[in-house]
Chains A and B, each alone.
Chain A
Amino acid sequence: MIDLLLVIAAAIFGIGVYGALSQQSFVMIMMGLELMLNAAVLVVVTFWWGTTGGNPSGQLLVIVILAVMAIEAAIGFALVTAVYRSRKADITEKLKKLRN
């Protein structure tokens, strides 16, 4: 069962890597990052369930990852808004330089 879960998580992570690297739209890049964190949640719960004897610290780590997901989304959306205001840019190709 652990093998199956880890292979599923690896597949989700691989799709997230593809999305984060290939997409031009800022929000689509964030979706790739979310998929990678989704895979991380699955892996942590898998190890908590199968290898730790039910140690609640494993579940606590998932809470931390969920907080990271919320932080990533909030900062990501705020940056999308700020970049659109300053550059009217919604894709990465419009940001040739960071200065000004």
Chain B
Amino acid sequence: MTPGPLAYFLVAAFGIGAVVSGWLVFRTDSMLRAAYWLMVSFVAVGAMLVVLDAQFLGLILILMMSGEMTIMAIFMIMFMMNPAGLNPMTMVHQHRTSIIAGVGSFLVLAWVGVVAEFPNRPAPLEDPTIALGEELLGRSMLVFESAGVALLAVMIGAIALAAKQGRFGDAFEGSEEPDMDVASGDRT
């Protein structure tokens, strides 16, 4: 299917939204807001998937990431200092190296994407969700089931790691508030 001008406009608009909100994740002082900016980035990418006729994948990406970012926001409040961004602080290390790595990976990947020639076999207009369902419950069921088993194993492992009386003893031993002594320099 050849994309029309509306599809171009929507992809560009959502793409800019995804990139800008992704950048704001690391520019805001509030860690809580960072979680929500990340959710905005995922929602924008999910909207791009819907424009690309992958409606099911776009919607489950949005649903899944909305839940995950809510959990991430709770973790921010639980564990991190300054979740609301009331005290401006910079919590970065190896900043120059990170910028070079990020910009470098962007330039290399964008160059490959622009220069390389890809086959032009666009997806047909038939409902891709039906095709995905038949694939999941037919030829590729083993892959689908393996993902489920992996998630079950992860649930057991995560509970073992995070349990109240887990490997590292009583949970209340670690229930003190984090050290808020910013002036000591160990957090900046």
Q: Which residues of A contact B (CB under 8 A)?
A: 1-19, 21-28, 30-32, 34-35, 38, 41-42, 45-54, 56-57, 59-60, 62-64, 66-67, 69-71, 73-75, 77-82, 84-86, 88, 90-94
Known A21-B97, A35-B25, A57-B140; judge A67-B60 contact (CB<8 A).
no
State whether B123 touches A54 (Cβ < 8 A): yes
Give the contacting residue for A74; candidates B134, B155, B174, B179; CB below 8 A: B155
Residues on B with beta carbons closer than 8 Å to the beta carbon of A63: 57, 132, 136, 144, 147
State whether A59 touches B26 (Cβ < 8 A): no
Give the contacting residue for A60; candidates B38, B107, B140; CB below 8 A: B140
Q: Compute how far the CA of A85 lies from the CA of B169 in the bound complex, rounded to whole angstroms.
A: 8
Known A45-B54, A62-B54; judge A53-B121 contact (CB<8 A).
yes
Give the contacting residue for A21; candidates B19, B48, B102, B167; CB below 8 A: B102
Q: Across the A-B interface, how many residue pairs have beta carbons closer than 8 Å?
A: 273
Size of the B side of the interface (Cβ < 8 Å), in residues, is 97
Interface string of B92-126 (1 = CB under 8 A from A): 11110111011111110110111000111111101
Which residue of A is nearest B49, CB measured? A45
State whether B110 touches A59 (Cβ < 8 A): no
State whether A18 touches B48 (Cβ < 8 A): no
> Can you give 21 A-B contacts (C-beta < 8 A)?
A16-B102, A21-B94, A22-B92, A22-B93, A24-B187, A27-B76, A30-B72, A34-B42, A49-B53, A52-B123, A56-B131, A57-B135, A59-B54, A60-B140, A62-B54, A73-B72, A75-B158, A80-B79, A85-B169, A85-B171, A93-B186
State whether A60 touches B135 (Cβ < 8 A): yes
State whether B118 touches A50 (Cβ < 8 A): yes
Q: Compute how far the CA of A19 lies from the CA of B93 in the bound complex, rounded to whole angstroms.
A: 10
Residues on B with beta carbons closer than 8 Å to the beta carbon of A73: 68, 71-72
State whether A67 touches B57 (Cβ < 8 A): no
The winner among A5, A8, A64, A86 for most chain B CB atoms within 10 A is A8
State whether A22 touches B57 (Cβ < 8 A): no
Known A10-B113, A84-B174; judge A66-B61 contact (CB<8 A).
yes
State whether A6 touches B158 (Cβ < 8 A): no
